[in-house]
Amino acid sequence: MKELKITAKIQVCSYNELTFPEKNLTNIAKEAVKRSYSPYSKFQVGAAVLLNNGEMVSGSNQENVAYPSGLCAERTALFYANAQFPDEAVDTIAVAAYTNGDFVEEPISPCGACRQVILEAQNRYNHPVQMILCGKEIVYKVEKITDLLPLSFDSLSK
Ligand code: THU
């Protein structure tokens, strides 16, 4: 029997080790948590998307009393970016989360549905989508979404 081993590269660093543009995007994601509508989970998430033309857009999680109708910050930001700038490749997404009066210690990682949507952006523009996942001090840097979603479904490649 053959075995497939899947590896993912995730760089762990501190906020201070980020480049100036990375810090900037991170700060925009942190700012966006303030615009979260999360009365049910009380977990505020912000996402900031950097497009290839340098444009940056942000989004936050938007909840609904019919729970599944809500949307994560990543998809809110990404769909907004694609709706406004359909011809611009997505370069980087930064994500931050805030709860109980502070940013979370451990970076949060996008849910499965968001990973699938980010993968679509990566394939659509044939451009790797980097992720900057921000904890209070610790930051995870991921070079491409396929590191977080290996063996993904892609009917076009079959
Ligand atoms: N959430 C996000 O917005 N992004 C994530 O990466 C994880 C979870 C939201 C969904 C829901 O509004 C709240 O956080 C609690 O799960």
Q: Compute the half-sphere exposure of residue 8: CA atoms within 13 Å on the CB side of its CA.
A: 15
Contacts of 16 (CB under 8 A, 6+ apart): none
Percent of the chain clearing pLDDT 90 (strictly above): 96
Contacts of 126 (CB under 8 A, 6+ apart): 89
Nearest residue to 77 via CA among 67, 64, 91, 66: 91
pLDDT of residue 40: 98
- pLDDT by residue (tens digit) across 10-43? 999 999 999 999 999 999 999 999 999 999 999 9
Whether residue 156 has pLDDT greater than 90? no
Q: Which residues line ligand 1 (CB under 6 A)?
A: 38, 41, 43, 45, 61, 63, 70, 72-74, 108, 110-111, 114
Give the right CATH number for 11-149 from 3.40.50.300, 3.40.140.10, 1.10.10.10, 3.40.50.10490.
Answer: 3.40.140.10
Give the C-alpha separation, 48 to 57, whole Å: 6
Substitution site in 33, 38, 40, 43 for ligand 1 pocket (most atoms within 8 Å of beta carbon): 43
Whether residue 154 has pLDDT greater than 90? no
Instruction: Kindly state the helix (H) or strand (E) to which residue 140 belongs, with its residue range.
Output: strand 138-142
- pLDDT by residue (tens digit) across 54-77? 999 999 999 999 999 999 999 999
**DSSP structure class, residue 71:** B
Give the C-alpha separation, 33 to 29, whole Å: 7
Torsion of CA 113, 74, 36, 26, to 10 degrees: 150
Q: Is residue 135 a contact partner of residue 105, using CB atoms and an 8 Å limit?
A: yes
Substitution site in 33, 45, 117 for ligand 1 pocket (most atoms within 8 Å of beta carbon): 45
Q: Which amino acid is at 129?
A: V
What is the end-to-end Cα distance of the chain in Å, rounded? 23
Q: Compute, in angstroms, the gap from residue 30 CA to the centroid of ligand 1.
A: 14
Contacts of 128 (CB under 8 A, 6+ apart): 122, 143, 144, 145
